[in-house]
Amino acid sequence: MNNTLYSIVNNFLPVAILVGLLLACGGCGAGGGGTEVASNADLRTSNIDTSDALFQPDQLLAVDIQMDPADYNVLRQEGRHLPQVLSGCATGYKYTHFKANVAVNGKTLKQVDIRKKGFLGSLSASRPSFKLDFDTHVPDRRLESLERMTLNNNRQDPGNTHQCVAYGMFRAAGLPAPRCNFARVTMNGEDLGVYSHVESVKNHFLRRNFSSDAGNLYEAQLADFGVHTKVSFQLKTNEEINDRSDLDAVVRALQADDDNLPGLLGQVVNLEHFIDYWAMEAITGHWDSASGNANNYFVYNDPQSGLFHYLPWGADGAMERFHLLAPGTGPLFRYISIPARLYKIPAWRGRYHTRILELLDEVWDEKTLNAEVERIRDLTGTEEVHLDQVRDFIANHEQHVRAAVAGEIEQREHTIIDQPTICRDGNITEVRGSISSGLGYFEYVDAEGVTITMPAVATPPSEDSQGVPFTGGIGINVIGTLDGVTRLALLTIEEPEFGALEVPFHGIASTLLLIRLGGPDGFELLGIAGEGGIRFSEPPVLGEPASFEFSADLWLNVGWDLSPLAGVR
């Protein structure tokens, strides 16, 4: 029976891959030595901007963070769980703020505000992304004119290329976009590796790119200009005033018919700027974006013109040939309301297509892009194997986009629904199991409240399981059969966490997917684990049967049709 089960796992292993893709101090001693930066109020009030010094493309910044180890352990484990996101119960999630001492290229800043960052895909317990704010606890302090730093872990981009290259292409197209280079980050003496240092989109960025930073800046996380979806815009400036009526003006304009829409919309949104922005999301393959996923973007109401501008963000998911959550919809994404409406108006669809072709001629050069990839490889020490994906993108994406503009590629309509977000926590049950030297059981509670228990075998921990989303990881497949039906509990552990006796489930880096084999598509995704974890009786070893227990909340009834993902990277 065991051989049969192992054969089933091998035959259905691509399913795990596809499902995985569904799923970016006051008491401490000073670190790093060198010069201490106490206050830079003179830089804050002067016209001198020295921030370019921190964004030199050929420089690998050295960022040394020292904080209370207990605080860091809390920080690194924080984050949303996928069931919270899928059930709409994570909208109010906030990270905890801590204090740290930070040295950047030898300049030390004490009492820096630090928190974790990331929505879901980039979450990591071993290499968290960070937000650093220099003036929260020391007012007016700046580091080379900057009041904050954003350090991204590149979990969704093991080649370290997506963000800096994509933002560079936006800027080459004449659009405001964050500056970007790289930093080697250490935490309490531990080398966390190379991070992307991305310019924070806040007041300093606004002053550099617009006439004033006095307008309303909103960050979008699954947000759009809809009656209901507008509430997901997070106001990042003027929070105390909290006047969000400028969003309502765009919502009202979008109620117009096709004949009147462009004129009314043009009174509240810079449409010329938006067409370029929309085109660049297609050109950079930024699927987890405004037009691709109502996510990872900012909108800024420029006080001089009174018009909204779109700003790119979260580009670690850019430079992908296919939309990973909705294949068949790209590369000319139109998920949010403005592109969806404009694309249906022939004259504006023509303007969009024309601008894509013009910008391809202006910003796309395969030789130059590959040279930039090689420069980043040499600077960051990235292994060549991690660059295969981005090289494939550079070799093929231009023609893919041109073919889409020419109508040679069928594109499926995919547009956000304007409906309220409701926390649906009623479909969260439980899953648990116990394995001793590869044998044991697991059970879960189904939607009717019935506990389904079955004997099970577990594959030894393996790097070849491929069930881990995005990059790296160790997989253990727990296989159970009851009444002729086989179910798989696909356990994944973020690689640096492997070897610990207890591994909490974390985002989609360390998690559990529950699958039932059979049905018209060959499988059914039964559920995804949330809060919980794995407890080993002794440190696990690759390739050897392990003894462990696991338990977690289980989100049931996902309801996704996964069959279109067949054959998609």
Please compute the mean of the pLDDT values over residues 461-468 and round it to a whole number: 67
pLDDT attached to residue 560: 44
Which of 202-206, 242-246, 345-349, 428-432 is predicted least confidently?
A: 428-432
Of the two residues 551 and 19, the one the predictor is more confident about is 551
Strands 511-517, 485-493: pairing is: antiparallel
Share of the chain above pLDDT 70, in %: 87
- The residues, any chain, with a CB within 8 Å of residue 143's CB and separated by 6 or more, are 37, 40, 54, 104, 107, 109, 134, 149
**Is residue 32's pLDDT more than 60?**
no
Of the two residues 242 and 85, the one the predictor is more confident about is 242
**Is residue 41's pLDDT more than 60?**
no
pLDDT band at 330 (very low <50, low <70, confident <90, very high): confident
pLDDT band at 92 (very low <50, low <70, confident <90, very high): confident
Alpha helix segments (H runs only) across 483-542: none
pLDDT in tens, 501-537: 999 999 888 999 999 998 776 788 899 998 999 999 9
Please compute the mean of the pLDDT values over residues 428-439 and round it to a whole number: 95
pLDDT attached to residue 185: 98
Tokens of 267: 């009174």
Tell me, letter by letter, the H, E, C secondary structure of 430-488.
EEEEEEECCEEEEEEECCCCCEEEEEEEECCCECCCCCCCCCCCEEEEEEEEECCEEEE
pLDDT attached to residue 410: 85
- The residues, any chain, with a CB within 8 Å of residue 335's CB and separated by 6 or more, are 290, 291, 292, 293, 294, 326, 329, 414, 415, 416
CA 555 to chain centre: 21
Tokens of 174: 């004449």
Query: Average pLDDT of the chain?
Result: 88
Please compute the mean of the pLDDT values over residues 329-348 and round it to a whole number: 95
Edge to edge, the sheet with strand 233-235 lists 233-235, 217-221, 295-302, 307-312
pLDDT attached to residue 411: 85
Tokens of 310: 């779109």
Please compute the mean of the pLDDT values over residues 250-260 and round it to a whole number: 98
Distance of alpha carbon 483 from alpha carbon 454, whole angstroms: 9
Which of 259-273, 282-296, 326-340, 374-388 is predicted least confidently?
A: 326-340
Distance of alpha carbon 219 from alpha carbon 221, whole angstroms: 7
pTM metric for this prediction = 0.88
pLDDT attached to residue 468: 44
| Cα–Cα separations (whole angstroms), residue 329 to 31, 293, 322, 404 | 49, 11, 8, 10
pLDDT attached to residue 525: 86
pLDDT attached to residue 426: 63
**Is residue 276's pLDDT more than 60?**
yes
